[in-house]
Amino acid sequence: MLWAIASSAFVIYLYRKLNAAPAEVAAPENAIDIELDKINSRIDVLEAMGKTRRIAP
């Protein structure tokens, strides 16, 4: 019972703390697209490395 009260109080505290005004956006709108392009290019490089290792003994 005490655990339920404590956890409820903690959730209420977090809700009030996180319910503050939204932060300003520091990243550009296409930041996710840029990061995905970087990850995809790294994956392409790794896949190319794997293909060359299979071909060359």
Structural domain boundaries, residue 35? 2-55
| Residue-level pLDDT at 22 | 67
Look up tokens 């290792």; give the residue.
53
Look up tokens 């709108």; give the residue.
29
| Residue-level pLDDT at 37 | 96
Helices (H), the chain: 2-18, 31-55
Reading the block at residue 41, the tokens are: 């290019």
Q: What is the pTM of this model?
A: 0.45
> How far is residue 46's CA from residue 40's CA, in Å, rounded to a whole number?
10
| Residue-level pLDDT at 45 | 93
Domain total of the chain = 1
pLDDT one digit per residue (tens) for the chain, 57 residues:
788 888 989 988 888 888 866 667 777 888 899 999 999 999 999 998 887 766 555
